[in-house]
């Protein structure tokens, strides 16, 4: 335990001193949940200052990696340092990230002020959002000016991951029915900015129109603009609630050429300014921390219960006893939980 503590102290010191090697090791420790990672995140948390975090999601093939690459380059051209976390699918063989780090950041190769890390799911997507949040803490404490979180897919797990961001960018490919279905499946509600990438393709204008219509319908059906209380640019005049609501913008880019990236950065800046002015930036941070606490409690409680189940013979033995009518599920749960409940009660006293 003392050895892990020394390693943590060294890592924290290295991260705060701006050592990229220490940052890389810290994020590896976090991703792999190595001994001491909790102490590491706890120590770094007090050195964060809430740097801007941008989430980028959308269906595979929409061009997210290329756009993130160009976005990072544009930030660097403006003199800002950047950290990128790309959440990749897991290899069925090694458990590591399938996609290569530097292949996807071609415009920023050799630039030490762009820190790129692929994080793999390792078969446990449920805890990936927490690991991502912890990695963001490390990048924030390190002093990165902008942090970008990219997800490869657009399912519920990826939605959970991008909820760690202040501003969420949803990429859509022109003329893709799959993208429309993806948006209808729920990701529409978390988007702050919608980008029709590959806007030089046929059908781009139609996709832009469809997106604006979907946003309009979302606002009309919820009465408050969905998750963020948003309005569209084409919202109905005279809506008294629109003054404090963010208008989700629909932008067009051609990421391979860098077209539209400056407009996207301007929109991201506008969104962050809006969050600050309305107090929503603090509200979102509060909500994220509350959910993170709940997730950690659920995970730790589950581990504790698994240990207690093993002490009672394991889940299979208990299930056999229920199947044989020697006991029932409720009695089993009471038997497992009673000692834990008694311990909690004694601590309260």
Q: Which has the closest alpha carbon to 113: 146, 138, 136, 67? A: 146
Domains of the chain and CATH, by start: 1-47 (no CATH), 48-277 (3.40.50.300), 297-348 (no CATH)
Lowest mean pLDDT among 111-125, 142-156, 252-266, 282-296: 111-125
Q: Read off φ and ψ for residue 122, nearest 5 degrees.
A: 55, 30
Report pLDDT digits (tens) over 202-224.
Answer: 888 888 888 888 887 776 654 44
pLDDT at 74 over 70: yes
Lowest mean pLDDT among 29-38, 86-95, 270-279: 86-95
Instruction: Average the pLDDT over 23-31 and give the result.
Output: 93
Instruction: Average the pLDDT over 15-29 and give the result.
Output: 95
**Which string of DSSP letters, residue by residue, matches 148-213?**
EEEES--SHHHHHHHTTSSEEEEEE-TT-HHHHHHHHTTGGGG-SEEEE-STTSTTHHHHHHHHHH
pLDDT at 121 over 80: no
């Amino acid at each position: 335990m003392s050895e892990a503590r020394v390693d943590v102290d060294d890592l924290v010191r290295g991260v705060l001193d701006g050592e990229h090697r220490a940052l890389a090791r810290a994020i590896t420790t976090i991703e792999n949940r190595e001994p001491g990672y909790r102490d590491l995140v706890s120590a770094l948390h007090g050195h964060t200052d809430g740097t801007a975090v941008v989430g980028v999601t959308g269906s595979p093939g929409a061009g997210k990696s290329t756009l993130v690459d160009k976005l990072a380059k544009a930030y660097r051209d403006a003199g800002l340092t950047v950290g990128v976390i790309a959440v990749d699918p897991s290899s069925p063989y090694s458990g590591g990230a399938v996609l290569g780090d530097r292949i996807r950041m071609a415009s920023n190769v050799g630039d030490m002020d762009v820190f790129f890390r692929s994080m793999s799911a390792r078969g446990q997507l449920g805890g990936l959002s927490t690991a991502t949040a912890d990695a963001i803490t490390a990048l924030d404490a390190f002093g990165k000016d902008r942090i970008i979180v990219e997800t490869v897919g657009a399912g519920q797990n990826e939605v959970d991951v991008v909820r760690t961001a202040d501003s969420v960018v949803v990429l859509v490919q022109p003329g893709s029915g799959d993208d429309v279905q993806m948006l209808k499946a729920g990701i529409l509600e978390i988007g702050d900015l919608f980008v029709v990438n590959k806007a030089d393709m046929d059908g781009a204008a139609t996709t832009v129109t469809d997106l604006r219509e979907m946003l309009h319908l979302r606002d009309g059906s919820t009465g408050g603009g969905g998750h963020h209380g948003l309005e569209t640019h084409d919202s109905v005049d005279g809506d008294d609630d629109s003054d404090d609501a963010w208008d989700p913008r629909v932008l067009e880019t051609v990421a391979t050429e860098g077209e539209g990236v400056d407009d996207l950065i301007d929109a991201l800046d506008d969104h962050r300014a809006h969050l600050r002015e309305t107090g929503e930036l603090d509200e979102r941070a509060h909500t994220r921390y509350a959910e993170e606490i709940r997730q950690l409690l659920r995970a730790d409680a589950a581990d504790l219960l698994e240990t207690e189940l093993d002490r009672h013979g394991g889940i299979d033995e208990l299930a056999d006893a229920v199947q044989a009518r020697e006991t029932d599920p409720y009695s089993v749960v009471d038997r497992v939980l009673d000692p834990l409940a008694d311990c909690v009660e004694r601590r309260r006293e």
